[in-house]
Homo-oligomer: A and B are copies of this chain.
Amino acid sequence: MISSAPALITLDWGTTSLRAYLHAADGTVLDSHAAVQGIMSLDGSSFAEVLTANAGAWAHTHGKLPVLLSGMIGSRQGWVEARYVALPAGLPDLAAGLTPVPDAPPAFGPVSIVPGLLRDEDAAPDVIRGEEVEVFGALHHLGVHDGLFVLPGTHSKWVRVEAGRIVAFSTYMTGDVFAALRGHTILGRMMQADAAPSPAGFRRGVEAARGLKGPGALMARLFSARTLPLTGRMAETDSADYLSGLLIGAELNDATHGHEAFTLVANPGLTDRYATAAEILGLPHHRAPAQCGSTGQFAVARAAGLI
């Protein structure tokens, strides 16, 4: 019988925040909390100190539990640079590629970092760190072994799974591009930071994306976020969501080839936005439950024999 006693600590440790979990051996999440101490926002603390601050109490109470970290903590700017695993990659490949943290605080059991994935392609290689773990969590929750998954974010990750292994993924810089265009091009001049959300503007942007023919066409169509208000065809307060819809619509059309079904994982706010865009474009989609991150981390830890 699998115990429900505490058996594992995991941290999903990203650029600007982290989320820590205490797992039982049967997979139950016993406790969790979030902090803003991402790898780029440590405020002078060491990685070891932040780990202790966020999970030390669990170790103090329950003894030397193994710790598994995923996300940007394994990047060059993180604690220890974790390797990249090549595609295709299943849970056993992630589990076999863990990188140990040599200078972990002694209050914890072994601390290790989940590898990232590398799409090792000459023309356009791609990398992912952390989201792949969430995809394995989604597979577990949904009871499936195949599918197309998207994790919206500053950099959206589209991940394709076949027979339980990740066979391809692709990074779309949509959120990063949107923020740069709004903040640092002429388009932002008409956009108010405090404008109310504009579903009508968003819809119009998504629909505009549908008609675009090629990559250069996007660079021209961007200007319509300015010229539509300029010519009285759209309210200025619609223009930020119009731009967002245009970019997300272009992303969805490309990643799904205009028709493929997909599953939305994580990031509730952005997921709503992507779901709305998918509805406008008539793209079949559904949502994975929350907690795919901790579920995926638990699955990796078990595959690695940590519990």
Contacts from A to B (Cβ < 8 Å): 118, 120, 122-127, 154-155, 170-174, 176-177, 179-181, 183-187, 208-209, 211-224, 227-228, 230-231, 233, 247, 250-255
Chain A to chain B contacts (Cβ below 8 Å), 28 pairs: A123-B224, A124-B220, A125-B228, A127-B231, A155-B223, A171-B223, A173-B186, A173-B219, A174-B219, A176-B185, A177-B219, A179-B184, A180-B181, A180-B184, A212-B215, A213-B254, A214-B214, A215-B215, A215-B217, A215-B221, A215-B253, A215-B254, A216-B254, A216-B255, A218-B218, A218-B250, A219-B247, A219-B251
| CB pair A222 B177 closer than 8 Å | yes
| CB pair B252 A125 closer than 8 Å | no
In the complex where A216-B172, A220-B254, A254-B216 touch, is A122 in contact with B185 (Cβ < 8 A)?
no
Copies of this chain present: 2
Determine which of B123, B170, B184 lies in contact with A211 in the assembled complex, contact meaning CB atoms within 8 Å: B123
In the A-B complex, list the 6 residue pairs whose CB atoms are closest, starting with the nearest: A216-B254, A215-B218, A180-B180, A216-B250, A180-B184, A212-B215
| CB pair A126 B219 closer than 8 Å | no
Residue of B nearest to A216 (CB): B254
| CB pair B250 A173 closer than 8 Å | no
Q: Which of A118, A223, A230, A247 has the most CB of B within 10 A?
A: A223
Q: Once bound together, how far apart are the Cα atoms of A255 and B221, in whole Å?
A: 12
Residue of B nearest to A154 (CB): B186
Q: Is the interface of A mostly helix, strand, loop or mixed?
A: helix
In the complex where A220-B254, A247-B219, A254-B220 touch, is A185 in contact with B180 (Cβ < 8 A)?
yes
Q: List the B side residues contacting A183 at CB < 8 Å.
A: 180, 184
Q: Once bound together, how far apart are the Cα atoms of A191 and B208, in whole Å?
A: 32
In the complex where A181-B177, A253-B214 touch, is A220 in contact with B172 (Cβ < 8 A)?
yes
- Chain B nearest CB, measured from A116 CB (Å): 11
Known: A183-B184, A213-B215. 19 other contacts (CB 8 A): A124-B224, A124-B227, A124-B228, A125-B231, A125-B233, A126-B223, A127-B227, A127-B230, A155-B223, A172-B223, A176-B185, A177-B219, A180-B185, A214-B215, A214-B250, A215-B215, A215-B221, A216-B251, A216-B255
- Chain B nearest CB, measured from A127 CB (Å): 6
Q: Once bound together, how far apart are the Cα atoms of A200 and B49, in whole Å?
A: 45
| CB pair A126 B227 closer than 8 Å | yes
Q: List the B side residues contacting A228 at CB < 8 Å.
A: 124-125
Q: List the B side residues contacting A216 at CB < 8 Å.
A: 172, 209, 218, 250-255
Q: List the B side residues contacting A217 at CB < 8 Å.
A: 215, 254
Q: Once bound together, how far apart are the Cα atoms of A123 and B254, in whole Å?
A: 21
Q: List the B side residues contacting A120 at CB < 8 Å.
A: 231
Q: List the B side residues contacting A180 at CB < 8 Å.
A: 180-181, 183-185
